Structure 1
Amino acid sequence: MARVTIMIPTQRRPDGLAVAARSVFGQVGVDPATLELVIVDNDQVPSARPVAEDLAKNAPFPLIYVHEPKAGVANARNAGMAKASGDLIAFLDDDEEAPAGWLAALLAAQDRFDADVVFGPVKARAPAQIVEHRDYLERFFSREGPAEAGILDRHYGCGDSLIRRAALPDPVSPFAAERNHIGGEDDMLFGHMGAAGARFAWEPAAWVWEDPVPSRLSLSYTIARAFAYGQGPSSHCAAATPPDRLGVARWMAIGVVQATLFGAMAGFKWLTRAKDRAEWLDRAARGLGKTFWWGPFKIQFYGRTA
């Protein structure tokens, strides 16, 4: 029977880490003897160690604490991979909570579709005090996909995923360190895997809750993040070997059109105080990101531990 590592990277979120880890302890339909939990603390000081030590007291399977002081989510995930013993690696973020059947659903889909990576839905929940733009904010932090389980022709992010280790281009350090400060290291990895013929699958039953930190539940954060997401296609083409200059030009042209059209619509929606005005601003920001994707326009969301 395959051994499974569940990995939770964390940075200064002790309460969220505790919720995520305890949800992992409550998984059903999976033999605990095949499981281990790896917690990766990506803080300069080992701030998550006391939480991990407390959690380990009641863990139904081995809990491995890893301290990675070098800033960056790619560094954190690679440090966890170096200590993980699993043939399959399940990723859960430290602001997520997994229902009891989450892991069993991922494993069943992996076996059913012989998948190299399985993704599941993410359902964001905002605190009750968030009223303005609530629907938009919850959708922004959620992940939606097909209604039925099946093979995918695309990939999603790393949170709420199950990866077959043997399918990774590098089984120990698969995440690109150059993405530590801007994110997208998982998109880059899955893009390379897809180009190499990896098999992606979707399982709607393998869903998790996400509780975004309150400081992120604002348009100032989400629109900046939308801009950064928009930069992805252009920057991926630029980072290809050799660089895909035609691809960069195509995405930049698409971005100009999107920023112009969606921006005009966002302005109209804002003047009329339409309920969906934030959605259009988000789309315009993503278009703008495709056009302004290089050096000085990069926004740093990750890679800070101080």
Structure 2
Amino acid sequence: MADSGGRSPVSAPPRRLVVAVATYRRPQLLAGLLPLLDEQARAVSSEGLSTEILVVDNDPEGSAGPEVTALTLETPLTLVSEPRPGLTAARNRILDEAGNAGLLAFIDDDEQPSSGWLTRLLEVMTATEATAVTGPVESSPVEPLDMWLKGTEVFARARHSTGTTRRALATNNLLLDLHQVRDMSLRFDPRFGLTGGEDSMFGQSLLRRGGTIVWCDEAVVRERVPEDRLTRAWALNRATRSGETWVRVRTVDPPRLRAAGLRLRYAATGAVRWTLGTALALISRARGDAEGLGRHQFSAAGALGMIRGALGRTIVEYSRG
């Protein structure tokens, strides 16, 4: 039907949703993930919403290429190389490649989405108009955990009621409203590129600029925990790095005097927690309580991370050197 001016009405272009994966030398896991993302994307595609899949390969040698190009998917798939090392470079490349898309979903290359994952994220974003919607990660270790690792709860992830407002996000399960993200001029901070925590910093920046983060408990992704992470050394290193990151994201941008005061406070808090955790670990060891020993040593490692973060020390977990 023509409009009053004799012209045919022009329908609005469909919204664009990009489902993105940053990958580094995990071609087989990626090859298993992409067909699942194809199913997720096709389930939400409509006349009003077009979907695409984006893979950013952070390996300068292009290890993802053969696996990706061998796949036949119905959803359009783009593979780009980002040789600059670090998570920040890969995630900012995703933001750049998404272009004028309205929506951007993140998932890690070692995860798999549950049925309806993307649908649920979109439903909550539509209902809440949040800047970001995030959801749970369920970890499945390849081997049974010993009592010490069980005590740490390092693989136990928090769950919340759908619609709950959150104060943090992670890019392993995330949907962003890119219109709001661009209006806030949000990017991933290069200071966290090789240490990790770039998503924590992104979330804090989002909140400081008036954005909102909402939880969707039905949008589950699952990760298989490999054998090399089922060690005490890995768990304690993760706890220490998490403590460092928690402090860094809260002290990296405030004015110098305020940042110094915060670092002093967090260092003191960390010292108290380290002392308590160490004492309780000694008691657990004397009692032969392996689970309690793991819990308290893990807590002490996190407290040590707070002290290190307050002193400006960081573990460079993603160094390629």
- Offset at 1:133? 4.0
Cα shift at 1:134 = 5.2
Mapping for residues 178-197 of structure 1, pairs under 5 Å = 178-197=191-210
The answer to whether structure 1 residue 119 and structure 2 residue 158 are counterparts is: no
Partner of 2:70: 54
Q: Deviations over 1:177-198 (max 9, x none)?
A: 1211111111111101101110
CA RMSD, aligned part only?
A: 2.2
Residue 130 of structure 1: CA displacement? 4.7
Distance in 1 (alpha carbons) for counterparts of 2:93 and 2:238: 26
Matched ranges for 1:1-306 at <5 A: 1-27=14-40, 29-31=43-45, 34-55=50-71, 57=72, 59-85=73-99, 86-128=101-143, 130-133=145-148, 135-136=150-151, 139-146=153-160, 148-168=161-181, 174-243=187-256, 244-274=259-289, 275-293=291-309, 297-304=313-320
Asked whether the 8 Å contact 1:78–1:173 carries over to 2, the reply is no
Identity of aligned residues (%): 28
Q: TM-score, normalised by structure 2?
A: 0.87
TM-score, with structure 1 as normaliser: 0.91
Q: Which moved more, 1:229-238 or 1:104-113?
A: 229-238
The worse-fitting range, judged by mean Cα deviation, of 29-38 and 100-109 is 29-38
**In the comparison of the two structures, how many residue pairs are matched?**
301
**Gapped regions of structure 2 (runs ≥ 5):** 1-13
Alpha carbons 2:141, 2:226 under 8 Å: kept: no
Which secondary structure state, in structure 1, belongs to the residue aligned with residue 61 of structure 2?
coil
Q: Which is higher, the Rg of structure 1 or of structure 2?
A: 2
The offset of 1:298, in angstroms, is 1.6
Query: Using a 3 Å threshold, how does the CA distance of structure 1 residues 134 and 233 change in structure 2: closer, same or farther?
Result: closer
How far the C-alpha of 1:144 sits from its partner, in A, is: 1.3
Q: How far is the alpha carbon of 1:173 from its aligned partner?
A: 7.3
**C-alpha distance in structure 1 between counterparts of 2:310 and 2:148, whole Å:** 30
Instruction: Answer yes or no: is the 8 Å Cα contact 1:78–1:172 preserved in 2.
Output: no
Conservation of the 8 A alpha-carbon contact between 2:134 and 2:215: yes
- Where structure 1 has 5 or more consecutive residues not aligned to the other structure, the ranges are none
Contact 1:151 1:199 in 2 (8 A): no
